[in-house]
């Protein structure tokens, strides 16, 4: 039996596929999910909702046929649909005496410490006065083209869970569990009830690139799990159309797949890990072994620099001969300076860059490993 009795803060993510029926927002479903969520809120238990559906609802309202690929049209549809979506939630929750608030996010808002603190104050205040925050991406202003988009609400929900220190993220979608293979292609595929670590085996269950199952959204869900688990937040993936699914998950019923959490990283470590990187440094195997032993990253171990970034930026780190990202770090050298000193001994930094410059690329506490 699962035990969620000590969960104080819970994020429920509601995906487009479960919200809609025949391409229309299913208001009966919204009413059911509102009743479900309202039933488990209490003075000790705070709920936040991350919802999709704005673009689809806007498209229907103004008569634009899906799929909508043009970025500006998606933005326009989101602007039309978001208030309609909120209105549906507002009436559904009002029936249970719950007031709701709209919170729209971009990746920049979460990455930037100042705007994130503003956001946190607002959300904490809403939760403190018993209002339910309903969040979505601010699709009208964030686009993948300018790097400000989350891309999908799966990752947005995990970042929200991480930022508010949630104990549990419940992802409601039209997939009832993570399976050992693609259940549509393989009759032997069976659902996994508990996943204790995101091993290569588990990741391959989500389907390799190009498999039809991979486009079914499981990969983005596992990316979200990877974010949540480092924040000490467990995740349950369940079918949103199950009756009273949120209350039953919380009561410990074995519904869907439970992903266990790891030790919670500090806020600063999570910020380094989850921010969009401004560039990439590639290091040699020796330097990687050294930083693994909690030593600083020195210019001598850097073999390649990608991108243009300032000192203080967050960049990703890979090891030569592999494109796999192994860590993220705060660089104390801007990209141009790093290119000038890479491969050189720290004692040469002053003569190359001028006196008083940092001789290391990153200290151990500024490096967070991805595994």
Q: Which helix (H) or strand (E) holds 96?
A: none
Sign of CA dihedral 122, 123, 129, 135: positive
Cβ at position 53, least distance to ligand GLU in Å: 5
C-alpha to C-alpha distance for 327 and 269, rounded to whole angstroms: 11
Return the range that interacts with ligand GLU (CB under 6 A); candidates 48-56, 119-127, 228-236, 243-251: 48-56
Task: Decide if residue 137 touches ligand GLU (CB under 6 A).
Answer: yes
The window from 46-54, 167-175, 290-298, 320-328 that contacts ligand GLU (CB under 6 A) reads 46-54
CB of 83 to ligand GLU, least distance (A): 12
Q: Does 16 bind ligand GLU (CB under 6 A)?
A: yes
As a whole number of angstroms, the distance between CA 315 and CA 293 comes to 20
Each as own residue / partner, the long-range contacts of residues 62-66 (CB below 8 Å, 24 or more positions apart, any chain) are 66/23
DSSP category for residue 231: T
Instruction: Please state the closest distance from residue 318 (CB atom) to ligand GLU, in A.
Output: 28
Is 136 among the residues that bind ligand GLU (CB under 6 A)? yes
Rule CB under 6 A: say whether 135 interacts with ligand GLU.
Answer: no
Q: Does 54 bind ligand GLU (CB under 6 A)?
A: yes
Q: Decide: is 153 part of the binding site for ligand GLU (CB under 6 A).
A: yes
How many residues belong to the chain? Answer: 371
Least Å distance between CB 150 and ligand GLU?
Answer: 8
As beta bridge partners, residue 14 has 51, 172
Separation of alpha carbons 160 and 81, rounded Å: 22
Q: Pick between residue 53 and residue 299 the one whose CB is nearest to ligand GLU.
A: 53
Residues 6+ apart with CB under 8 A from 282: 302, 303, 304, 305, 306, 317, 318, 319, 320
**Residue 173 binds ligand GLU, judged by CB under 6 A:** no
- CB–CB of 343/299 below 8 Å? yes
Among residues 29, 30, 47, 52, the one that binds ligand GLU under rule CB under 6 A: 52
18, 55, 237, 278: which one contacts ligand GLU (CB under 6 A)?
55
Interacting residue ranges for ligand GLU, rule: CB under 6 A: 15-16, 52-56, 78, 136-137, 139, 152-153
């Amino acid at each position: 039996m699962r035990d969620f009795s000590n969960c104080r803060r819970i994020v429920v993510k509601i995906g487009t596929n479960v919200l809609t029926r025949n391409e229309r927002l299913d208001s009966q479903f919204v009413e059911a999910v509102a009743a479900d969520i309202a039933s488990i809120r209490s003075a000790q238990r705070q709920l936040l909702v991350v919802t999709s559906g704005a673009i689809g609802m806007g498209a229907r309202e103004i008569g634009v046929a899906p799929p909508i690929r043009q970025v500006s049209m998606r933005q326009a549809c989101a602007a039309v649909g978001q208030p309609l979506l909120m209105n549906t939630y507002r009436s559904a929750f009002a029936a249970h005496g719950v007031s709701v608030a709209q919170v729209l996010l971009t990746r920049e808002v979460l990455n930037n410490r100042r705007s994130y603190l503003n956001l946190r104050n607002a959300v904490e205040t809403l939760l403190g006065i018993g209002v339910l925050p309903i969040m979505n991406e601010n699709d009208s202003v964030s686009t993948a083209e300018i790097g400000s988009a989350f891309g999908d609400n799966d990752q947005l929900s995990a970042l929200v869970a991480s930022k508010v220190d949630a104990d549990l993220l419940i992802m409601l979608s039209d997939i009832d569990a993570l399976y050992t293979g693609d259940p549509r292609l393989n009759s032997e595929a069976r659902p996994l009830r508990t996943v204790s670590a995101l091993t290569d085996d588990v990741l391959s269950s989500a389907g390799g690139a190009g498999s039809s199952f991979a486009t079914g959204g499981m990969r983005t869900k596992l990316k979200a799990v990877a974010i949540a688990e480092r924040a000490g937040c467990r995740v349950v993936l369940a079918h949103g159309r199950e009756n009273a699914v949120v209350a039953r998950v919380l009561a410990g019923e074995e519904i869907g797949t439970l992903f266990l959490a790891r030790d919670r990283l500090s806020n600063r470590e999570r910020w380094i890990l989850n921010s969009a990187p401004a560039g990439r440094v590639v290091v040699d195997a020796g330097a990687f072994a050294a930083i693994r032993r909690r030593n600083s990253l020195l210019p001598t171990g850097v073999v390649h620099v990608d991108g243009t970034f300032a000192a203080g930026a967050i960049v990703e780190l890979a090891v030569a001969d592999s494109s796999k990202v192994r860590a993220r770090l705060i660089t104390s050298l801007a990209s141009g300076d790093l290119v000038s000193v890479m491969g050189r001994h720290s004692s040469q930094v002053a003569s190359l860059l001028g006196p008083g410059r940092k001789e290391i690329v990153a200290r151990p506490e500024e490096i967070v490993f991805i595994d």
